[in-house]
Structure 1
Amino acid sequence: MLIDTQDYAPKLLEAIGKLGAVAPATLAGFQALDGAAARTGKLDARTRELIALAVAVTTRCDGCIALHSAAAAKAGASQEEVAEALSVAIALNAGAALVYSARALDAFGQQSG
């Protein structure tokens, strides 16, 4: 096990609570933003959590992975659905590396000539 999410998630939520105690407007703003994503009603909870989990991978957020993997399981996502969502994240990260590699090569070309 790389990270014990069962142990990490509660500690993370406690730490976020402490941050919220000293920066309540920041936490309230985040909670409003987070809640707004679910208000449209166009996507079901399972789909939203699969998207959130894939985004968590692309942003490299261990806390997001811990929280959204639990939420995806609670929403009824299967291991196969999670793997497919993660496959999209992997492909997207590779695509981003390709795009930024082209930009870096272009930037290099601007310097040498």
Structure 2
Amino acid sequence: MTADTRIEDWDSYNGALRERGKEFAVLHPEAVKGFSALSRGASTTKHLDAKTRELIALAVAVTTRCQGCIDAHARKAQAAGLTKEEIAEALGVAIALNAGAAMTYSLHVLDAMDGLG
């Protein structure tokens, strides 16, 4: 892993992200209010337990390549009592789905090639 993609100090990263978030909230408060409402709504679950929700969140964070989401949901996963083994299984699903998406889109390339004049 290269130095520019690896976060060495997750606590500093989290703090810096929160500070930038406060700045953005001043610049565009309605966007932040909307995001906060969406996040609260998604956090309110009736059928999923905290562990399941955080496994889904981490898998999505990986597939969308969101470091802030990884930070937030790794913290929540730890608080929910998830083990590295449980998280690894969920991330294995994310890896497989990313490979599946690449395979599917590869077939679209063949379709495009066939459709070209």
TM-score, structure 2 as length reference: 0.89
Aligned ranges for residues 74-113 of structure 1 at < 5 Å?
74-112=79-117
Query: What is the percent sequence identity of the aligned residues?
Result: 52
Cα root mean square deviation, aligned: 1.3
Q: Please list every run of at least 4 consecutive aligned residues from structure 1 whose deviation after the TM superposition is greater than 4 angstroms.
A: none
- Return the offset for 1:41: 1.7
How far does the alpha carbon of each residue in 1:44-91 deviate from its partner, in whole angstroms, 9 at most, with x for none?
Answer: 112111110100000011111111111111111111111011101000
Q: What pairs up with 1:1-113 in 2 under 5 angstroms?
A: 2-3=6-7, 4-112=9-117
- Structure 1 distance, partners of 2:106, 2:115, is 14
Structure 1 unmatched ranges of 5 or more? none
Task: Give the Å deviation of 1:38.
Answer: 2.2
Identify unmatched segments of 5+ residues in structure 2: none
TM-score (norm 1): 0.92
Q: Aligned to 2:82, what secondary structure does the other structure show?
A: coil
- The number of residue pairs the alignment matches comes to 112
SS at match of 2:37: helix
